[in-house]
Amino acid sequence: MNAEEYANMQRMEATHWYYAGKREIVRAWLRRAGPPRAEQVLLDCGAGTGRFAEEMAASCRVLVLDDHEEALRLLREKFRPEQILSLAGDRVPLPDGSLDYVTALDVLEHTPDDRAVVDGFHRLLKPGGSAVVTVPASMALWSDWDEVLHHFRRYSRPQLQALFPPAQWEILHVNYTNVTVYPVVWLLRKWRRWFPAAAGAARAEDRLPSPLVNRLLRWQFVTLASWRWPLPFGVSLLLVARRR
């Protein structure tokens, strides 16, 4: 992402229903998969501003990984040098089986070879260690925003699940999230395609709704993401898997 995107995220992520809700959802699923303990190690891949990793530092040991200089600059303000990693070529500079948890929040869509990235998660995790990933869902929602954010793809549930083969992973949960706003998002994305002049309009993620609306949107987002039965669609996908 470019520097503007990091600035937008840093400005909005503390209270905006989407960013704050996503972190709450992932923390809840980590507790279900674990819960993390003080002596365990979590690597947050594509850590960005470091907000999620900061929150997890109260529960376990935290490492952060990113390869964008703007993100690394922000991470250096929050973490000790030994906690901050950058890629060594295409490889995370950690020993095999050294981690208890890996998180990748809206990261896989930015990578040309997402299967290789997931294989890297498998290498890094101890047997029984857990990975939690979120990705944007549904190519029907593809728009200029995905291009600005340098996405390679949006995912269906089968596509995401296929990255975690049963021989290597036990999938604990995979489901769509951000379900109720899907029709609105679909309409907005089509509007931007039909009327290119609207393409310069700000994204909903860059504007903070009124406090009441913000609370309601976060409540429905978090509540539906806790459901275990399959949902038919959503703006995002969440997957929780345990390394065999």
154 by Cβ neighbours in 10 Å (0-12 / 13-18 / 19+) ranks as buried
Which H or E element spans position 104? strand 99-105
- For 78-113, what is each residue's pLDDT tens digit? 999 999 999 877 899 999 999 999 999 999 999 999
Longest dimension (CA), the chain: 53
Assign domain 3-243 one CATH number from 3.40.50.150, 2.60.40.2300, 3.30.428.10, 2.40.10.10.
3.40.50.150
Rounded (5°) CA angle 179-185-188: 170
* Closest alpha carbon to 163 in 178, 153, 151: 153
* Mean pLDDT value of segment 141-166: 95
- For 198-221, what is each residue's pLDDT tens digit? 555 566 667 889 999 999 999 999
Residue 205's pLDDT is 65
Which H or E element spans position 131? strand 125-136
Residue 148's pLDDT is 85
Question: What ranges do the domains of the chain cover?
Answer: 3-243
94 by Cβ neighbours in 10 Å (0-12 / 13-18 / 19+) ranks as middle
Judge if pTM exceeds 0.85. yes
Position 5 pLDDT exceeds 80: no
Angstrom distance (rounded) from CA 174 to CA 171: 7
- Give the full edge-to-edge strand order of the sheet including 169-177: 84-85, 61-65, 41-45, 99-105, 125-136, 236-243, 169-177
